């Protein structure tokens, strides 16, 4: 668990690319069922994570998705994508295209920065 408050939680998804998931604390099936506060918290987290991924990893693209077919609960995926990652241009759950992708920067400092920012120990960018 990267972050948790009364509205949302943020988790790391094990992957070769930076991939985080944002969940509502209250299980909801559809985004339209979320309260205004939950929606604001989700959009704020997506915005902050995207900006942090762009600044730290300088990926070729950020992917943001919300499907919920396997887990019928509101949650959002946000991942940094690179032209040479294992699956590009396929989705991360698609057909693997190659082997041997290495992140351009280590993951741990990025995660620590996000933990600090979301816990309020850093000013929001």
The greatest distance separating any two alpha carbons of the chain, rounded to the nearest whole angstrom, comes to 42
pLDDT (0 to 100) of residue 27: 93
pLDDT (0 to 100) of residue 124: 42
Assigned superfamily of 3-118: HIT-like (3.30.428.10)
- Predicted structure pTM score: 0.91
Domain spans of the chain, in order of start: 3-118
pLDDT (0 to 100) of residue 25: 96
Residue 17 · residue 92 · CB < 8 Å: yes
pLDDT (0 to 100) of residue 70: 74
Structure token pair of residue 108: 């741990």
Name residue 75's beta-bridge partners.
Answer: 23
pLDDT (0 to 100) of residue 120: 86
pLDDT (0 to 100) of residue 121: 57
Mean pLDDT by 10 residues, the chain (125 residues): 96 97 95 97 97 98 88 91 97 94 97 94 46
pLDDT (0 to 100) of residue 71: 76
């Amino acid at each position: 668990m990267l972050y948790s408050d009364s509205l949302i939680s943020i988790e790391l998804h094990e992957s070769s690319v930076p991939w985080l998931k944002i969940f509502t604390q209250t299980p909801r099936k559809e985004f339209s069922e979320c309260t205004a506060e939950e929606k604001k918290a989700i959009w704020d987290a997506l915005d902050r994570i995207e900006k942090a991924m762009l600044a730290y990893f300088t990926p070729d693209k950020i992917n943001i998705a919300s499907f919920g077919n396997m887990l019928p609960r509101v949650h959002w995926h946000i991942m940094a994508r690179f032209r040479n990652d294992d699956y590009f241009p396929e989705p991360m759950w698609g057909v693997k295209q190659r082997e041997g992708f290495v992140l351009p920067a280590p993951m741990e400092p990025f995660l620590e920065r996000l933990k600090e920012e979301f816990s309020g120990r850093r000013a929001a960018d």
